[in-house]
Structure 1
Amino acid sequence: MTQWFSESFNAEFAKQAEALGRVNLAVFGKTGVGKSTLVNAIFGERVAATGIGAPVTIGSHLYLDRRGTLGVIDTRGLEIGRDDDELIKELTQAVKDSRSKPLSEQIHVAWYCVRGMDRRFEDVEDRFIRTLAALEIPVVVVLTQVPMRDGQFHPDAVELARQIEARDLPIFGGRPFLTYAMRDPFSGQPAYGLIDVLRATFHLAPEAVQAALAAAQEIDLELKTNQSNKAIAAAVAAAAAAAAVPIPFSSAAVLVPIQLSMMARIAHLHGIGLEKSALLAVASTSIATSAGRAAASSLLKFIPGAGSVVGGVINASVASGLTLAMGQAWLVVCQKTFNKTLPMIDGKVDTAAVRHLFEAELARRMPGIRKPE
């Protein structure tokens, strides 16, 4: 890996980490209803197992655990149904205090979890949810640990869901989501309902933190792909603007930061760390073998007829087309990384196979680029 590539990719990777920001999810419910299991099932075991630094206190009993693009707010030492007044007081103050802070420090969505087989939903829980809504925190109600057989939910959970829906609570969809977070190896009960909860959360989250949510979750590749396509579209527009006045190949290095930024963001969205992202980028593209202007020229060799048209200049059509093809090819590499389907040799990524994959995907898309006239 050249020093230029290492420094450039590292810088763009850090910029995109900051640009993605953080989505903050508050998770409430009585003790033992499966809150941690639900969070882990959607965002990965690392959420409960490890973190970056210690949780940040935002109230006497409210804590914000910051983990990359995800923040989880929970309560410690207070129990809904026992300490409601104190908890509501702390929560109200914390929300008011956060209003003057950056968006990354505010609560964006709340989950309220109820064990599906508890058979009752108490008035204190109703009050707590209405308080959250009054504080302008959108709420998703989740019934956890709901057994299902032959496609049918357990009737007790169905009845509980009906009772909650009848209360006309200010919650997403007006009804709870029935879930089973982790497959039970003993009974064979599969996990279900998680993507519905995730997509409801995505719908409620402010647009500015939706990409952070897409990056943090580990169950919905489509969500990651949609956000990646937005990053590609933004890079394509930036590349077209950079070449609005046709630029010579010798000055084409102006496109490289745009493309590296795009690649770094897509890697973040798929939860790929810096070291692995850089390795995959080196294996995928020819920019790692050169520096500066030579790097851009190296990439442009993929354009049919490059160097022999119009004195070797790049117009907006070629710049945007190349960036689109690069983004789509890199997205395939990241998708396979996320799905753990990249070729491996002795437990390590087969870099030659990754390079072949990227270049094959790139070449497949290059005919769509219109040559300068």
Structure 2
Amino acid sequence: MINKKYSEFENFDEDYNFDSNEFVDIPNLEDELESEIKKTKANLKKAKIMLIGGTGVGKSSLINVVFGKDVAKVGHGVPTSRGIEKFEIPGRDIIIYDSEGYEIGEDKLEHFNSNIISTIESEGICTVWYCISTPNSRITDYDKEIIGKIKSYNIPVHVVLTQADKSNPTKAQEMKTTVKAECGVESFLVTTNYIKIQNPKTNKEYGYLELENLLKFTTENITDENLRLAFVREQRCSLKVKEEEATRIVNQHASGNAIVGFSPIPFSDAPLLLASQVAMISRIICVYELEEQESGIKGIIQAIGLQGLMQQGGKMAAKFALGQAMKFFSGLGSVAGGMINGAVAATFTKTLGYTVSTICYKMKEDEINNTKKTAFLNGPTTEMFLSVFKNQFDKLGQR
């Protein structure tokens, strides 16, 4: 049942029988979306990740699982300084810096230390994954020292306890406790060998253990919007991480659209609202890497049922504009009108964003699994889109 907060939408079709273009001059959506996607991609920055750890800890395997396409093999390593290689693939917005293991000896350690810090400063590293082999069951004093120095430069550093599937679980948890207590950073038990056995507590497969948590934590610690989007987009390991970033984008736009609803100029907000929604959709499509499909932008619009979306969007925008006009009628204050319009704008934008994200998720999932039998791989129909839209709207009303 729809929450009272959103009950004004319940009988909308019966109460308002407007043509979808009556109040809003809807632009050519293909051109608008294509332009917005190009703008979004042009603003992306290269997410630069540094991996530190000795030979044999599994850094190359970690890179390949997270970023796909055998980055560590396909990418051309270019030495940036002694002991550090830079891997970059044309067309990708991720750059990996891989350090060799350090050698024992005061002079050698100091030189290694200097190289790490100078690379972080000169290359603009956005996060560091410090890799330690879990089966070794020890964290050295030097590990603690270099982690502390990286932290002092305000660079997020996360300890990745690799090869965790080969370690005693009790000792592995003890290592996590030690890292937190003695280094003051989070650590994550990770394997690059997918574990299909189910966890009795969660009823889910163990998978890559805490690798998804590492990706989520890394994402949360990238504050630059364009770096953050690049990292989430380029990681190929977790659709859940992409979905959470899409949700954050939706909430960001919905909040902005609620503010738009308080504008005192009647009818002026609807085109503004529409522009924000197109920008939101473009960012979501980029998160899921669906803009490069062979069918192009037109195919994506058809796949997410955008024609049906704008038919609904035009109606909602019509009511939104009508609400603006109501603020100027005798007895209706602008504050009350603004509150109504803010709810309309935010609710529709959220419903739209969650719908696009849900369908993009399913499309990407089918693409990854090569599930040719499902409807989403070939692109859902407008009817399917509107069904998801209604379901997401109902969920919002229940919150």
Q: Same fold judged by TM-score > 0.5? A: yes
Please tell me the residue identity of whatever aligns with 1:285: G
**Deviation sequence 1:258-308 (CA, Å, 0-9, x none):** 2221111111222323336722223333449xxxxxx96x45455499699
Secondary structure at the counterpart of residue 183 of structure 1: strand
Task: Please report how far the alpha carbon of residue 336 of structure 1 lies from its aligned counterpart in structure 2 after TM superposition.
Answer: 0.8
1:178 matches 2:198: no
Query: What are the residue-to-residue correspondences of 1:67-146 with 2, within 5 Å?
Result: 68-75=92-99, 78-81=100-103, 83-97=108-122, 106-146=124-164
Secondary structure at the counterpart of residue 95 of structure 2: strand
Determine the C-alpha separation between the residues in 2 that align with 1:320 and 1:125: 48
1:11 matches 2:28: no
Query: What are the residue-to-residue correspondences of 1:1-373 with 2, within 5 Å?
Result: 4-48=28-72, 50=74, 58-66=80-88, 68-75=92-99, 78-81=100-103, 83-97=108-122, 106-147=124-165, 153-154=167-168, 157-158=171-172, 161=175, 165=178, 168-173=181-186, 176-183=187-194, 191-206=208-223, 208=225, 209-240=227-258, 244=263, 245-247=265-267, 253-275=271-293, 278=297, 279-287=299-307, 298-300=311-313, 303=316, 318-340=344-366, 344=372, 349-351=377-379, 353-364=380-391
CA contact (8 A) 1:214 1:223 kept: yes
Q: Which moved more, 1:261-270 or 1:332-341?
A: 332-341
Task: Please report how far the alpha carbon of residue 112 of structure 1 lies from its aligned counterpart in structure 2 after TM superposition.
Answer: 1.4
Determine the C-alpha separation between the residues in 1 that align with 2:241 and 2:285: 14
Residues 111 and 300 (structure 1 numbering): CA distance in 2 closer, same or farther, change over 3 Å?
A: closer
Please tell me the residue identity of whatever aligns with 1:71: I
Determine the C-alpha separation between the residues in 2 that align with 1:368 and 1:9: 27
CA contact (8 A) 1:304 1:366 kept: no
Residues 135 and 169 (structure 1 numbering): CA distance in 2 closer, same or farther, change over 3 Å?
A: farther
**Deviation sequence 1:75-115 (CA, Å, 0-9, x none):** 3xx431254333222222233445xxxxxxx2222111122
CA contact (8 A) 2:126 2:156 kept: yes
Task: Please report how far the alpha carbon of residue 116 of structure 1 lies from its aligned counterpart in structure 2 after TM superposition.
Answer: 2.1
Residues 302 and 219 (structure 1 numbering): CA distance in 2 closer, same or farther, change over 3 Å?
A: farther
Please tell me the residue identity of whatever aligns with 1:325: T
Residues 169 and 56 (structure 1 numbering): CA distance in 2 closer, same or farther, change over 3 Å?
A: farther
Structure that is richer in helix per residue = 2
Secondary structure at the counterpart of residue 136 of structure 2: coil
**Deviation sequence 1:154-209 (CA, Å, 0-9, x none):** 169539827x8189542413xx4322222379xx9953221232233234433644
CA contact (8 A) 1:284 1:356 kept: no
**Deviation sequence 1:128-176 (CA, Å, 0-9, x none):** 333323333332222211236xxxx5169539827x8189542413xx4
Task: Please report how far the alpha carbon of residue 338 of structure 1 lies from its aligned counterpart in structure 2 after TM superposition.
Answer: 2.8
**Deviation sequence 1:332-353 (CA, Å, 0-9, x none):** 11121232289846999333x3
Task: Please report how far the alpha carbon of residue 226 of structure 1 lies from its aligned counterpart in structure 2 after TM superposition.
Answer: 2.9
Secondary structure at the counterpart of residue 349 of structure 1: helix
Determine the C-alpha separation between the residues in 2 that align with 1:304 and 1:13: 23
Q: Which residue of 1 aligns with 2:20?
A: none
Instruction: Please list every run of 5 or more consecutive structure 1 residues that lacks an aligned counterpart in the other structure.
Output: 99-105, 289-294
Secondary structure at the counterpart of residue 135 of structure 2: coil
Determine the C-alpha separation between the residues in 2 that align with 1:253 and 1:199: 35
Please tell me the residue identity of whatever aligns with 2:126: H
Please tell me the residue identity of whatever aligns with 1:323: T
Q: Which moved more, 1:320-329 or 1:22-31?
A: 320-329
Return the TM-score normalized by structure 2.
0.67
Q: Which residue of 2 aligns with 1:102?
A: none
Please tell me the residue identity of whatever aligns with 1:236: A
Instruction: Please list every run of 5 or more consecutive structure 2 residues that lacks an aligned counterpart in the other structure.
Output: 1-26, 197-204, 327-339
Secondary structure at the counterpart of residue 180 of structure 1: strand
Query: RCO (CA 8 Å, sep 6+): is it higher in 1 or 2?
Result: 2
Q: Report % sequence identity.
A: 18
Determine the C-alpha separation between the residues in 2 that align with 1:334 and 1:126: 42
